[in-house]
Amino acid sequence: MKAGSSKIAAVLLLVYVILLMYWMFLGFGRTWDFSAPYRYNLHPLRTIHSYIRSADILPFSVWGVNLLGNVAVFIPVGALLAVMMRRRLRLLHMLAGFLPALLLLELLQMLLRAGSFDVDDVLLNAAGACLGWILAARVFSGKRQRQT
């Protein structure tokens, strides 16, 4: 992996994070209704379980987009972090830095009433970032082995 790829990954990550902020706080018809009560879920797997249990009743556009979308949208973040850090950072260390950022974003969504704080979103987003990290690490480790 060339040194320039880290810089390119950093720029792409910045652009993608700005896009994520838009999606999380303004996109998908979100409004900031400060008269609305705070919405939150602090019970791990509650939302995930309810979507899975209701998959035969709810359309895929509800349960699938929520579950799979929350994973998929953070795959690029994990992949770009892996490229940017050039494997100097272990997956668990990345996750230790990434989880507080996710918690902050979820908290801001709730406080601004642009969404809810859902611990399951944190779990799904973290799973996506880990998946992206692992995929990027495999791709780049495979390239390194072929070049030698």
Q: Residue 64: its pLDDT value, please?
A: 94
Q: What angle do CA 52, 64, 83 make, to 5 degrees?
A: 115
Q: Residue 42: its pLDDT value, please?
A: 97
Q: What average pLDDT does the structure give for the chain?
A: 91
For the chain, the domains span 3-147
Q: Give tens-digit pLDDT for 69-81.
A: 999 999 999 999 9
DSSP for 5-66 reads HHHHHHHHHHHHHHHHHHHHHTSTT----TTSPP-EE-STTHHHHHHHHTTTTS-HHHHHHH
Tell me, yes or no, if the pTM score tops 0.85: yes
Neighbours of 78 (CB within 10 A): 26
